[in-house]
Amino acid sequence: MAFYEHTFVGKQDLSDKEVDALVDKYSSLIKKTGKILKTEKWGLLNLAKKIKKNKKGIYIHFKFEGQKTTVSEVEQKISVDNDIIRYLTVRYSELDLKNEYFSKRK
């Protein structure tokens, strides 16, 4: 199995319950054939340019171990989900689980 980072951007007008439902939906999909190592909610961030009439987006980031079929299944489901405006999956040979790049600074 390989390591992956998967980030998706939800619409800016989603409620907390809807965001949690999205996280649960895709984490359960990943858990069917893979293993989630870390889930990060980066929150509402500005987009560099408008995407589908949205100026901001809610970012969710998964770090997981899985197979190629896991990634293709998740991407297939996300591509038809109306609450998600963008997504990106990157494959790694090893993951950095210590650093959180969008955590709140003290």
**What is the distance between the alpha carbons of residues 1 and 18, in angstroms, rounded to a whole number?**
31
Torsion region of 80: left, alpha or beta (phi above 0 gives left; psi -120 to 50 gives alpha): alpha
Give residue 24's pLDDT. Answer: 95
Give residue 103's pLDDT. Answer: 63
**Treating both helix axes as pointing N-terminal to C-terminal, what angle do 68-79 and 16-33 enclose, rounded to 10 degrees?**
150
| Each residue's pLDDT tens digit, 54-86 | 999 999 999 999 899 999 999 999 999 999 999
- Asked: is 2-87 a CATH 3.40.50.2020 domain? The reply is no
Domain positions in the chain: 2-87
